[in-house]
């Protein structure tokens, strides 16, 4: 009898595993899935392998990916997607990732007295300054709720002479467009002291609030981001800011890149930042910065990388041009790192001295893959002017050959202190330079891609031959 029961359980398990299954690769990870059946949307539970059971119908099923605080993503998977097997992934390309965009809305909070400071209180007790009551605020629901299933967040109002008031607010009370909270009237803040003895203090407080309102504190003034203690700022650019940090438990020093707050609310910049994280996570080479992990904290995406102690090549060039003896080893390492990225079908697209870090030990390491692409598109001239290959300026897509040209421009500038013109004359500017190194750089700067080296691996070998 026990044997028959065992066979019956096994048969049921096999039957349960039957049918079509689909795995969605989506950020953030803890999302919910629903499938359209007729005019209704039915929730799709996921199994232990994070797979969704798909109805076995000839039609192409439609799905909705949902998460609290994010916009719903609706998509259709072609029925022919399962021709190669019952278990599939979406999107089909391994380097592609679906992205849910945060919900952004406008809200104005009203208190009595007006001008109270508004702070978001996270589940971990951290505080983030949002603005002042009576002023319209742009709210990121994903950051406010932290993606919680309940959709609640806590707001604390603070005003000079009043007791702090912490209020739980449900995100579903807000609608797209302009919102007012509370719906009518104002939230009264209890006075800390009787008013008449506090008149001088209130006057001073009004002056202090006026100064504070013109200097909105950054959310990154808090010393913690995820599992890391923020120690100091290392630098910043158009897309984000880089901090030196330490892991809270192991004490490991790292570098953390955080997307600017005004860009985190824009889906195009958010997708580019996540694409950079996904690309770097696949690269493992001593001359490419290594990504340790990436995630979000209160809606702010961040990228945790190894800490490369050193300075960028631009800093070295600001002092003086480099000699052939100092440049050749750095050029070999730079070509080696890019050759590895090209072998993984990744084009950097923004080769310049600012993106090459050199350590005290002489290690060269490429950073900032924010413009990198797996499949570059035509008519995209993203990059830094002066380092763009002639074919890029003519509208051709980025390629390993255009990265090679940009590396040649970097080498030319490092030796001469200036960018090459339409006809580079390295031999005239540096007549005492090693003829072999001059020949390698001149070939990298060839106008036509076919006249350059077949790959940066060949450039690396040519440089080694002259050392």
The residue to which tokens 């995406």 are assigned: 301
Q: What is the DSSP letter of 290?
A: P
CA distance 456 to 282: 19
Would you tell me how many other CB atoms lie within 10 Å of the CB of residue 58? 5
Q: Please, what is the Cα angle at 121 between 126 and 111, to 5 degrees?
A: 140
Catalytic residue among 297, 350, 368, 403: 350
Would you tell me how many other CB atoms lie within 10 Å of the CB of residue 289? 22
* DSSP-assigned beta bridge partners for residue 33: 65
Q: Are 233 and 243 in contact (CB under 8 A)?
A: yes
Task: Concatenate the DSSP letters of all residues of 428-439 into one string.
Answer: HH-TTS-HHHHH
> Quick one: tokens of 41?
């949307």
CA distance 373 to 431: 38
CA distance 15 to 21: 13
Give me the sheet containing 364-366, strands edge to edge: 310-312, 356-359, 364-366
For the chain, the distance separating the N- and C-terminal CA atoms, rounded to the nearest angstrom, is: 79
CA distance 320 to 218: 37
Q: Is 350 annotated as catalytic?
A: yes
* DSSP-assigned beta bridge partners for residue 35: 42, 63
The residue to which tokens 């072998």 are assigned: 343
Length, in residues, of the chain: 467
- Quick check: bond before 23 cis, omega within 30? no
Q: Are 305 and 292 in contact (CB under 8 A)?
A: yes
Task: Report the candidate in 155, 121, 116, 119 with the shortest Cα–Cα distance to residue 134.
Answer: 116
CA distance 114 to 432: 73
Backbone angles phi, psi at 14, to 5 degrees: -65, -40
Instruction: Name the residues annotated as catalytic.
Output: 350
């Amino acid at each position: 009898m026990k044997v028959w029961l065992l066979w019956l359980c096994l048969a049921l398990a096999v039957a349960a595993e039957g049918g079509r299954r689909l795995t969605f690769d989506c950020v953030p990870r803890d999302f919910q899935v629903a499938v359209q059946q007729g005019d209704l949307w039915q929730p799709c539970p996921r199994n232990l392998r994070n797979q969704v059971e798909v109805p076995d119908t000839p039609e192409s099923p439609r799905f909705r990916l949902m998460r609290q605080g994010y916009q719903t993503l609706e998509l259709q998977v072609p029925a022919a997607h399962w021709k190669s097997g019952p278990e599939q992934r979406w999107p089909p390309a391994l380097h592609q990732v679906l992205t849910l965009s945060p919900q952004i809305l406008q809200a104005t909070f009203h208190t009595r007295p007006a001008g109270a400071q508004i702070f978001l209180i996270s589940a971990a007790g951290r505080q983030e300054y949002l603005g002042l009551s009576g002023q319209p605020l742009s709210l990121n629901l994903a950051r406010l709720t932290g993606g919680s299933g309940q959709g609640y967040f806590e707001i604390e109002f603070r005003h000079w002479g009043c007791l702090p008031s912490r209020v739980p607010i449900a995100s579903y009370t807000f609608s797209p467009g302009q919102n007012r909270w509370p719906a009518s009237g104002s939230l009264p803040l209890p006075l800390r002291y009787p008013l008449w003895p506090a008149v001088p203090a209130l006057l001073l407080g009004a002056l202090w609030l006026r100064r504070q309102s013109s200097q909105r504190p950054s959310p990154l003034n808090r010393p913690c981001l995820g599992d890391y203690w923020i120690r100091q700022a290392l630098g910043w650019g158009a897309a984000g800011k880089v901090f030196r940090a330490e892991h809270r438990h192991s004490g490991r020093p790292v570098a953390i890149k955080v997307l600017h707050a005004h860009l985190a609310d824009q889906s195009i910049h958010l997708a580019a930042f996540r694409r950079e994280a996904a690309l770097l996570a696949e690269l493992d080479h001593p001359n490419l910065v290594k990504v340790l992990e990436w995630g979000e904290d209160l809606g702010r995406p961040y990228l945790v990388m190894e800490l490369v102690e050193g300075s960028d090549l631009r800093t070295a060039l600001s002092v003086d041009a480099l000699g052939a003896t100092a440049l050749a080893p750095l050029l070999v390492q730079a070509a080696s790192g890019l050759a590895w990225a090209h072998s993984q079908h990744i084009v950097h697209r923004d080769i310049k001295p600012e993106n090459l870090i050199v350590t005290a030990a002489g290690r060269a390491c490429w950073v900032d893959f924010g413009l990198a692409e797996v499949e570059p598109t035509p008519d995209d001239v993203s990059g830094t002017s002066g380092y763009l290959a002639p074919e890029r300026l003519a509208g051709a897509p980025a390629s390993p050959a255009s990265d090679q040209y940009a590396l040649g421009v970097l080498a030319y500038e490092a030796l001469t202190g200036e960018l090459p013109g339409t006809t580079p004359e390295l031999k005239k500017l540096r007549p005492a330079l090693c003829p072999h190194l001059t020949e390698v750089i001149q070939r990298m700067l060839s106008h036509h891609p076919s006249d350059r080296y077949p790959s940066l691996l060949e450039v690396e070998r040519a440089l080694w031959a002259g050392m």
